[in-house]
Each structure stands twice: as structure tokens, then as C-alpha cells.
A and B are shown apart, each in its own frame.
Chain A
């Protein structure tokens, strides 16, 4: 009975935590993605949503896999210990996922900044602009 109650508490806490982190990502990632996708809001929202879905899948998957306790819970103390251990693992996985997401965001953003960068060096001299058709074929 106590074991089942512990499972129940674990599932509730994990779902709440995952939902909280997922919502945070969804709300705060949006502005970032809109910048990355050159103000294409539809595209940013779509990528944002897809990222959050992946995030939920990985976390709920991990939560289910990690549910089973190795030993029966008999007292309140062991219940708290088991619960804190399992929730701790979920938190660490959530944290790792969160940083991974940030990493992906910043990579996308940096890549875009690089592609838009102007020439990084100043000219050594200036000539009148060349004709638009480029060098003559000789």
C-alpha cells in the first residue's frame, strides 16, 4: 500500500515538474526563435511546439522507466527517501534537457549570426566600383 502511494506521489510530482519546465521553455523560447527565424512567427511557433513535444516525450518516457522501486517501502521515512531519490533523478534529467535545449537554441542563433555577418576586414584600398557584369572574359 505504501509503495503504491509513493508511486502515486512520484507520478504527480514528476508530471507537475515536467509541465512547469515545459511551459517555461515554451513561453521563453518563443522570443528567441522569432529572432532566429527572421520574424517568421508561424515558423518560430511551429519549431517551438515541436521542441516542447520532444521535451515532454523524453521526460515522461524517463519518468515511466524510472518509476519502479527496488525495494518495498514500509515506513514513512523510507517512503520519503525513495520519493526524494526518484524525484531528484527526474530533476537532474529535466535540468540536463533544459540546458540541452538552450544549447540547441544558441547554436541555431549563432549559426544565423555567422551567415549574416558583414565582411570582417576593412578594405586595403577603394577603387571605383567594377562594372556590374564583372571582369571581362578575355
Chain B
């Protein structure tokens, strides 16, 4: 059983266009568990105990019960919180689909950092 008052915080890279787009999309989704989207750059003022370097290295989700999810796990937990994507999340978490989830979210992270570096030039 999940705690009744469980909520998630997604720490996304606020300096990355793709990440902001995905955050906008996430805000529009119907959630089962409340999801807050906070730019990683605001982590320190928001009271996040994880450092900025670490947050930017991998997508990070913190849960109100203290659980921290990184990378593919973070993506799966966010999808799990969305009403229309929970079934997909459960599938991605199965041993059979997990490698595909790693590839998909790895690719998204790759595109995000590539476009960010390109925009910085």
C-alpha cells in the first residue's frame, strides 16, 4: 500500500528546452498522485538535499516518503503517477520491457543534453 498523502517532485533541467517542454506536457496530464515540477536550478532554495550537479546528471524524482528515483526509474515513477500512463509504466517496469525503457529514456536524455549543448554554443 502506498501512503495516502504520497506526492512526487520532478527535478527537471530548467535550462534545457526539451526538458521544459516535457515539463509543460506533464503539468497538463491528469494525475493519480500529485506531481510537482520544479527546475533543478531552484533545488537549493526549494530545500532539496540533492546537489545541482547530481540533479542535472540524471532526471531525478523525489517522493514525499523520502524515496529518490533516478534515470529510467524516475521516468517510470512519473508515468506511474499519471492516470493515462500507469499501465505503460507497469509494463516498462517488467523485465521484458525494461531494456527498451532504458533505451527510450536514454535516447531522450541524449537528445536533451545534445540540444542543450548546441543552444549554448
Contact = CB atoms under 8 A, between A and B. Distances in A.
A121 B92 CA distance: 10
Nearest to B46: A135
Nearest to B86: A114
A123 B74 CA distance: 9
B57 interface: no
Nearest to A127: B66
Contact of B69 (A118, A121, A130, A134): A121
B1 A118 contact: yes
Interface string A95-138: 00000000000000000001101111111111111111011111
B37 to A, nearest CB: 10
Contacts of A138: 42, 45-46
A117 B46 contact: no
Nearest to B48: A135
Contact of A125 (B36, B68, B71): B68
Nearest to A124: B70
A138 B38 CA distance: 10
A1 to B, nearest CB: 60
Contacts of B50: 127
Contacts of B64: 129-130, 132, 134
Contact of A132 (B5, B69, B87, B92): B5
A136 B68 contact: no
A67 B77 CA distance: 56
Given A114-B87, A115-B86, A120-B90, 12 more contacts: A117-B80, A118-B2, A120-B92, A121-B73, A123-B67, A123-B69, A124-B73, A129-B65, A132-B64, A135-B47, A136-B46, A138-B42
Interface of B: 1-2, 5, 7, 9, 32, 36, 38, 42, 45-50, 62-71, 73, 76-77, 80, 83, 86-87, 89-90, 92-93
10 nearest A-B residue pairs (beta carbon) = A138-B45, A120-B93, A123-B67, A135-B46, A129-B66, A121-B73, A124-B70, A127-B66, A125-B68, A114-B87
